Structure 1
Amino acid sequence: MNRGYRELLGPGRLVLNIRGCPGPPTLRFETAEQGLLLRQGERPLLLGRTQDKGCCKDLAMHRLDGFRSPLPHLRSDAMREGTDWTHQYARWLEETADGPLHDGRWHITRRASFAPGIWTEDFVRDWPGGSLELYCGGGWHGVLPLRSLSPPDAPRVKAYRKHARDGTLAPVLLWWVTFLDGWLILDGHDRAMAALAEGAEPVCVELKPVADEERWRATADEITTAHGQHMARLDSCAPHPNLMHQRAALERGYADVIASLPYDTAHTASWALPGGAAAWDDLAARAMFQFPRD
């Protein structure tokens, strides 16, 4: 993959602008009617089917072994070097043949805090099956591993727990997926378990697609036009004591919205599954033959 253009946004935050890679990437979602497939190359990693419950949906899923992290193995000594992990992960994601990047703008940012419940009840510990409750309006908003989780006393987890206590544990890499309203762990399953075993939420680097420049600028033009019309109507009103405060509030709101547009989350891309629903059914049948109780 060609190196993308970087928009530097301060410590622990950047946008990676990828061009010349239209997709599909190696790690990608494919869809067929109610069926969902996460694939890495030709290897299926996750099979899911939505189950309608009125306006709300649950996703019944089954994951398979074979996921390859898009990042190289992190050595213990490297984690003590004070690396800027946001930029390092961005470089590795550009270089890997196993990741999800394709043309577009990708927001990569350090994240050290999450809403309550994300790393507890909404952290999917079961393997390989499960169900994501995609509630109306709220969504699932949890974390989904792509391999079975190691126990807290596993040798690598124990080694990482010392890093967690020392504050030198490298971040977990998460990929935000809009239609799941949650994150997939792309790298750092054992580091996540180490942090949790030490009573802390994992520090993460979050990867998510954001609006491309043409789209957010078009939206900005529409908002600017509407804002100008609103201000003109306000200016046509008879003077009153609150007029200046109203103008100031509208200007602040307008500035905040315009500033956020380049970083609004874009929809996670998916591709049509070759063979459609019949191909999904065949993959699901083979997975259930291998794991008949799931």
Structure 2
Amino acid sequence: MAEQLYWHDIEDLQGQWVGLGGTVERPASARPPLHLLTGHNGRIKLMLHDTPLFWATVAQGYCGAWLVRNPVPAQLEFLPIPPIDSAQVERHAPLEPQQRIKAWSRFFVSQLSERSADFLYPGRWLAQGMLPNPANARAVAQRGLAAWSFSSGTGSHSHLPNWSLYGEDILDNLTPETVQWIDWWQGGGKLVGLHPVDPLAGRLKWWRKKAREGSLPPILLWHVGGLASYVIVDGHYRLQAALDENIPPTFIVLSATRIQAINPCPENQQRVLDSLMMQSARNPNFDVDTLNRALINTFDNRPYYNASTHSWAGIESDQAWVAEVTRHLHEHDATEHLQAIIERRD
């Protein structure tokens, strides 16, 4: 079967754009270059071809996960999106924030569709914006990264995942720490870069200028469900530019999804309708907005989009995973938490 990709806009009940939904139809083939491997005892590896970008393991109490990063050279950078040029930046710059995130989502999805074998595997996908939350400019100026926060803002009007991120959970890509504890009870997951950033790179200076101008394109992220975290697919230098200028950026989150159909009970719908009509008849001042919300909630049969992440059972054994991680941590003189990682303790 030839490869087929279908993308469509998704709106909430108020007619506002909230994301792009897509279906990738092609025969199951070899793993894409960037893929997750899983194995026995809660072990995970993110691979770029044959190179591990990080190892991870879920704690036995499911309160978090250990992340072991492999700061691979920049030449191993994964490029599912061709470099963004000045013309593309200027084309999107005049748009309002919501329209801009929609336009950039279309751009990224179009690029991924043309090069889908490099990243997208068969199934359903979502692309959603994640924007800075309204913040006190003084707090951002004084506290910097600690004052940053982001959300997808889908709320109750949409059946899509609701993403969020705090500045303190953005991991350093200038001098990446080898070992990181991801605490799911305190703030959620992390934002993980896949290669180091060169602070003297010319493109970093150019992106810093675009950040100051307010035209910085979004950073493209992939949600990895097993870690409840995001990895950067495109935009390591754009993120660093935003950090250097202390200007919160925007993100587009890609997630593989499963659709859960909603089948309301007709008898229950009728009971709710009868009750609302009775209350409305008895009380001429019955709030119309309350009535409408109750009716929408009762008759809303839109499916739910549940995020999921596909992985391949490709880790040879628990012993092999432990041996790799042990060797890597000894090479980087970072064995302080080695035993906790091996034993999956927080």
TM-based fold match above 0.5: yes
The 8 Å contact of residues 35 and 48 in structure 1, kept in 2 or not, is answered as: yes
CA–CA distance in structure 1, aligned partners of residues 190 and 334 of structure 2:
24
TM-score by length of 1: 0.80
The 5-angstrom pairing of residues 54-93 of structure 1 reads: 54=61, 56-65=63-72, 66-82=76-92, 84-93=103-112
Equivalent of 2:26 in 17, 20, 25: 20
CA shift for structure 1 position 162: 1.1
Match of 1:30 in 2: 37
Describe how 1:187-266 pairs up with structure 2 within 5 A: 187-212=234-259, 216-217=260-261, 220-221=262-263, 224-225=264-265, 228-229=267-268, 231-232=270-271, 235=274, 241=282, 248-255=292-299, 258-259=301-302, 261-262=303-304, 264-266=305-307
Q: Secondary structure at the match of 1:265?
A: strand
Tell me the secondary structure at the aligned position of residue 9 of structure 1.
strand
- Return the offset for 1:45: 1.0
Q: Which moved more, 1:156-165 or 1:72-81?
A: 72-81
Tell me which residue corresponds to 2:124: 105
Please state how far the C-alpha of 1:293 moved relative to its aligned partner.
2.8
Distance 1:287 1:7 in 2: 43
- The alpha-carbon distance between structure 1 residues 139 and 196, as it changes in their structure 2 partners (threshold 3 A), is closer
Pair 1:131-2:139 in alignment: no
1:91-121 per-position Cα deviation (integer Å, ceiling 9, x unaligned): 2222336744112211113332257383521
String of CA shifts for 1:50-87, please: whole Å, max 9, x gaps. 333x4523324222413413211222343223393212
CA 1:103–1:55: 2 relative to 1, 3 Å: closer
1:160 counterpart residue number = 207
What is the SS of the residue equivalent to 1:266? strand
Q: Letter of the 1:34 partner, please give it.
A: G
Which of 298, 302, 312 is the matching residue for 1:271? 312
Contact 2:255 2:308 in 1 (8 A): no
Q: Which residue of 2 aligns with 1:290?
A: 331
Task: Quote the offset at 1:133 in angstroms.
Answer: 2.6
Secondary structure of the residue that 1:271 maps to in structure 2? coil
In structure 2, which of residues 189, 197, 200 is the aligned counterpart of residue 149 of structure 1?
A: 197
Tell me the CA shift for residue 197 of structure 1. Answer: 2.1
- Count residues with an aligned counterpart: 280
Query: Do structure 1's residue 45 and structure 2's residue 63 form an aligned pair?
Result: no
- Take 1:233 and 1:82, find their aligned partners in 2: how far apart are those partners? 46
Q: Deviation digits for residues 31-59 of structure 1, max 9, x if unmatched?
A: 1122110112222111112333x452332
Write the distance in 1 (CA, Å) between the matches of 2:306 and 2:62.
23
Give distance in 1, aligned partners of 2:88 and 2:272: 59
Map of 1:116 onto structure 2: 149
Q: Cα distance 1:200–1:12, how it changes in 2: closer, same or farther (>3 A)? A: farther
1:229 is aligned with what amino acid? N
Q: CA deviation at 1:269?
A: 1.7
Q: Does structure 2 retain, via aligned residues, the 8 Å contact 1:173–1:205?
A: yes
Gapped regions of structure 1 (runs ≥ 5): none
CA contact (8 A) 1:58 1:133 kept: yes
- CA displacement, residues 200-229 of structure 1 (integer Å, 9 cap, x when unaligned): 2112222112224xxx23xx12xx12x633
Retained in 2: the 8 A contact 1:19–1:103? yes
Question: Which amino acid is the alignment partner of residue 255 of structure 2?
Answer: K
Q: Structure 2 length normalisation: TM-score?
A: 0.69
Partner-residue secondary structure (3-state), 1:174: strand
Q: CA deviation at 1:18?
A: 0.5
Name the counterpart of 2:156: none
- CA pair 269-281 structure 1, distance change in 2 beyond 3 A: same
Question: CA contact under 8 A between 1:16 and 1:106: conserved in structure 2?
Answer: yes
